[in-house]
């Protein structure tokens, strides 16, 4: 089952849980469990999308946050 399918089926279950004739403690447990699972799956989906966005296509990941320069950032200053 893919993550997207899991979120879809879990959403349906989360929608119908309050209307099922099950004890209150089971409803609370099911709701909390599905909420935690949705949080984890959502994090994984967002992370996968982010990593695919910074993929350069050759197996490397990177952004433009680092630029190498040949000029010194802080010129030498002699103490006077």
- Please answer whether residues 10 and 34 qualify as being in contact, where contact means their C-beta atoms are separated by less than 8 angstroms: yes
**Distance set, CA 69 to CA 42, 58, 66 (Å):** 38, 24, 10
Determine the pLDDT at residue 63: 64
Is pLDDT above 80 for 79?
no
Is pLDDT above 80 for 1?
no
**What is this structure's pTM?**
0.58
Query: Residue ranges of the domains in the chain?
Result: 23-55
List the beta strands (DSSP E) in the chain.
Answer: none
Is pLDDT above 60 for 80?
no
Of the candidates 13, 12, 6, 7, the residue with the CA atom closest to the CA atom of residue 29: 13
Helix boundaries (H) for the chain: 3-16, 24-53
Task: Please report, rounded to a whole number, the percentage of residues in the chain having pLDDT higher than 90.
Answer: 2
Instruction: Return d(Cα 40, Cα 35) in angstroms, integer.
Output: 9
């Amino acid at each position: 089952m893919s993550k997207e399918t899991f979120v879809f089926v879990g959403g349906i279950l989360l929608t119908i849980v309050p209307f099922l004739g099950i004890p209150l403690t089971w409803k609370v447990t099911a709701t909390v469990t599905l909420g935690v699972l949705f949080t984890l799956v959502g994090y994984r989906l967002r992370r996968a999308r982010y990593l695919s966005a910074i993929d350069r296509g050759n197996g490397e990941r990177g952004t433009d946050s680092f630029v190498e320069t040949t000029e010194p950032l802080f010129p030498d200053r002699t103490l006077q």
